[in-house]
Copies of this chain bind each other. A is one copy, B any other.
Amino acid sequence: MKKILVLHGPNLNLLGRREKEIYGTLSLAEIDGRLAKFAQENGFQVATFQSNSEGDLITSIHEAMGRYDALVINPAAYTHTSIALRDALAALDIPVIEVHLSNIYRREEFRQKSLTAPIAVGVISGFGVHSYLLGLQAAFNCISA
């Protein structure tokens, strides 16, 4: 059975508690539940991990090597500032899908640049929790093809 790792970047542990007009009302646990249900329905496994620490996210990417078939990542604020995260992703030999809850094109200028997106297969942004679900679908397509 295929296994997909879903990584949540900084501040996403606050989901459902902060700025709901931007990020929606679901908590991270509820989102993770939705992802698990989606995976189960489609016959694959999903694991999730959240951290506010750039270093811990990098280490979790390193540890994904050889253990997962695809990676779905919402790098949140690190999307725009972390070359180290990009380098970690570039070292992975499995498909990487980047997702964002909000449409980053509608937000501040400094969120328009993505350091990680050129490393990903593709990017999905703006659909709230559906960004994750569409991302899982896209990842599943990649590893089923």
Instruction: List residues of A whose CB falls within 8 A of some B CB.
Output: 9-11, 13-14, 17-19, 51-56, 58-59, 62, 65, 76-78, 80-84, 86-88, 90-91, 103, 105-106, 110-115, 117-118, 120-127, 130-131, 134, 137-138, 141
Report whether A118 and B103 are in contact in the complex, using a CB–CB cutoff of 8 Å.
yes
Copies of this chain per assembly: 12
B124 and A110 contact, CB distance less than 8 A = no
- Find the B residue at minimum CB distance from A141: B130
Q: List, in ascending order, chain B residues with CB within 8 A of A90's CB.
A: 18-19
State A125–B106 Cα separation when bound (angstroms): 16
CB-defined A-B contacts under 8 Å, sample of 9: A14-B62, A53-B53, A78-B83, A78-B84, A83-B111, A103-B123, A123-B125, A123-B126, A127-B138
Q: A10-B88, A120-B103 are in contact. Are A80 and B83 (CB under 8 A)?
A: yes
8 Å CB contact of A54 from B54, B59, B65, B127: B54
